Amino acid sequence: MRIEILGSGCPKCRATERIVREQLQTLGLTADVVHVTDPQEMRKYQVVFTPAVVVDGRVVSSGHVPTGEEVSHFLGA
């Protein structure tokens, strides 16, 4: 599984990455987690608002810091 956190590196983006990593650990899942800050890379996903979370090429969250429950849901738990 590949998870991309899209955003400039702002506090909300960092919080999103932290929550994703915590939920992966809690659920016992492994994934490549990458923080994408390049605007050109972000445009590929047509995301208007960050932070955004992309799981295996599909945007699953955008414009807010997801809760742990939301992250668990889009990780398939």
Residue with tokens 């992309």: 54
Dmax (CA) for the chain in angstroms is 32
- Residue 10 a catalytic site member: yes
**Domains in the chain: how many in total?**
1
pLDDT at 42 over 80: yes
Instruction: Give the span between the Cα atoms of 49 and 65, in whole angstroms.
Output: 11
What element of type H or E holds 52?
strand 52-55
Question: What is the extent of the structural domain holding 45?
Answer: 2-74
62 is catalytic: no
Give the active site residue among 3, 5, 6, 13: 13
Q: pLDDT tens across 7-16, in order?
A: 998 999 999 9
Catalytic residue, from 1, 2, 10, 64: name it.
Answer: 10
CATH (domain of 59): 3.40.30.10
Q: What is the pTM of this model?
A: 0.92
